Chains A and B, each alone.
Chain A
Amino acid sequence: MTKIPYFPGCTLKTKARNFEKSALASTGLLGIELTELPRWNCCGAVYPLTSDDLMQCVASVGNLIRVQEMNQTGMVSNEYRLVVLCSMCLNVLKRSHKRMIEQNEQLKKINEFMYLEKEPYKGNVTVVHLLELLKEHGFEKIRDAVKKPLSGLRVSPYYGCALLRPREVGIDDPENPKIQEELLSTLGATVVDNPLKLRCCGSYQTVRDKQLVINLAYDILSRAQDAGAEAISTSCPLCSFNIDNRQKEIIKNHSEFKPLPVFYFTQLMTVAFGLSQEHCGFEQNHIDPQQLLKDKGVL
């Protein structure tokens, strides 16, 4: 088993435990042991909008230092990749790291401020998303692990923003990404393209202006349905909240709207690998996807 440092993020321990459970189970089967950072803190949530706001990077840098510590203590062996599942966490961690290696003055200042740390941040961590790791692992190997191909399941990948933008930290082409499509095809699913797969879900506006998010979610989901999708695949707990949980409000606005199950891509992997359903945590999915999976004969 290859041990790789893994940053869960706050949501994966609470509202999105299903994302973490399914990720750990499916990667475990592939021989990847996602090893949780010891003593991690919040990623920082939002990358600072001004170039002189250094305080907001402190949270991220602390986590990057933990990766160094894991190597020092032997929790991992010469492994400076940090795997992240949540798109928002990936975005903040990657951009903070980038600022540290591009702005030496700021790195020095932040290391000075974080004097309680056992060592300064040396700028040697690579933040990767699980999708990137899986691609590097090889989709052929993933295909070999599939016991229950998701044949006939018409899934539409949804990307949102944080995974692809800004360009310097995006994990795929921001205009025409293919990585989720490749994974889903490997799992045997039928990929349905949604022209609104890159449309923002509304992000944190969900706490300030619910209606905005409801409108965006309705557009994103109904376009996917028009194209023939039976389910959505996503990688971000915030997107998932906005397009899954908010469906109960969409129905109030649009009575003809039919609920559309929203999966984390790792849940689909877990099902396709034939692993026990308890690793999927479907009870946390707002629209219950179990009937759909049963109809396709994979559950």
Chain B
Amino acid sequence: MQNQLIPVFILGKKYYVPRGSTFITAMEHVGFKLKKGVGCREGFCGACASLYRLDAEYKLHGGLGCQTVVQPNMQIVQIPFTPVPKVIYNLESIKPDPNVFVAHYPELYRCLSCNTCTKICPQELQVMDFVQATIRGDFALAANLSFDCIMCGLCSARCPSEIAQFNVALLARRIFGKYLVEKGSWLQHRKDEIASGKFDDGYKELVRSSSDQIMKRYYERKIDFDTT
């Protein structure tokens, strides 16, 4: 299995790479030394945004270089960065009002609802839907739909209306988190417990324990997920 090499086109040039490689490992296999366009290698940081086409198909796809496995005759290229306007705002003084989006990203209203952003998203998010949610000031919907956005920039690169979808959604999430989300009571409850000294004895005991004792306690612990 490891000896099987398949052809892929990197930046238009044909190479042979091990079957099962991702874009990143394929490129490194043939000698590319990546400084940009690579990051966590775990599908979380959004650095390795890439475009690809499958053998003889016209459709253009977006994917993460560290997650997408190469197919024979795939054509791949990295888009390590998409330039977008970055608007500076002060979260303390911003108002959770629908107008906040047009005030900071007026080009947002050029949205044609064409779904091009949704089509290219490597995370398969409903990008157009959260953009439309920001257009009508629905912070909660925008925040929830864009939760898994890793800010890779492909949506903005492809958008015919030149919107920075991921920056707009980030603003929505920031405002939602700061002003609109229902605050849980558990944090304060735990802080009160700590202040009352509930954990003092247990903590002192742990500090006094040897590393063997701690390891034993760790591996023998009862795992109890209380999701209430």
Note all chain A residues with C-beta closer than 8 A to B160.
55
* A58-B129 contact in complex given A13-B136, A116-B118, C-beta closer than 8 Å: no
Whether A14 and B113, one on each chain, are in contact in the complex, defined by CB atoms closer than 8 angstroms, is no
Whether A39 and B129, one on each chain, are in contact in the complex, defined by CB atoms closer than 8 angstroms, is yes
Whether B135 and A114, one on each chain, are in contact in the complex, defined by CB atoms closer than 8 angstroms, is no
Whether A55 and B114, one on each chain, are in contact in the complex, defined by CB atoms closer than 8 angstroms, is yes
Note all chain A residues with C-beta closer than 8 A to B135.
10, 42
Interface SS, A side: loop
Judge if B128 is at the interface, Cβ distance under 8 Å.
yes
B: residues with CB less than 8 A from A are 98, 111-115, 118-119, 128-129, 132, 135-138, 160
Whether B136 and A58, one on each chain, are in contact in the complex, defined by CB atoms closer than 8 angstroms, is no
A55 to B128, CA, bound (A): 15
Considering the complex, give the chain B residue whose CB is closest to the CB of A61.
B113
Considering the complex, give the chain B residue whose CB is closest to the CB of A58.
B114
Whether A62 and B113, one on each chain, are in contact in the complex, defined by CB atoms closer than 8 angstroms, is yes
Whether A55 and B112, one on each chain, are in contact in the complex, defined by CB atoms closer than 8 angstroms, is yes
A22 to B115, CA, bound (A): 32
Whether A14 and B136, one on each chain, are in contact in the complex, defined by CB atoms closer than 8 angstroms, is yes
Whether A13 and B112, one on each chain, are in contact in the complex, defined by CB atoms closer than 8 angstroms, is no
Whether A58 and B113, one on each chain, are in contact in the complex, defined by CB atoms closer than 8 angstroms, is yes
Whether A59 and B137, one on each chain, are in contact in the complex, defined by CB atoms closer than 8 angstroms, is no
Pick from B135, B136, B137 the residue with the most CB of A within 10 Å. Answer: B136
Judge if A245 is at the interface, Cβ distance under 8 Å.
no
A: residues with CB less than 8 A from B are 10, 13-14, 39-42, 44, 55-56, 58-59, 62, 113-114, 116
Q: List 12 A-B contacts (CB under 8 A).
A: A10-B135, A13-B136, A14-B136, A14-B137, A41-B129, A42-B135, A56-B112, A58-B112, A59-B113, A59-B114, A62-B113, A116-B115
Note all chain A residues with C-beta closer than 8 A to B115.
58, 62, 114, 116
* A42-B129 contact in complex given A13-B137, A116-B118, C-beta closer than 8 Å: no
Note all chain B residues with C-beta closer than 8 A to A113.
114
Whether A59 and B112, one on each chain, are in contact in the complex, defined by CB atoms closer than 8 angstroms, is yes
Considering the complex, give the chain B residue whose CB is closest to the CB of A8.
B136
Extra pairs beyond A14-B98, A44-B112, A55-B112 (7, CB < 8 Å): A10-B135, A10-B136, A13-B138, A40-B132, A41-B128, A55-B160, A58-B114
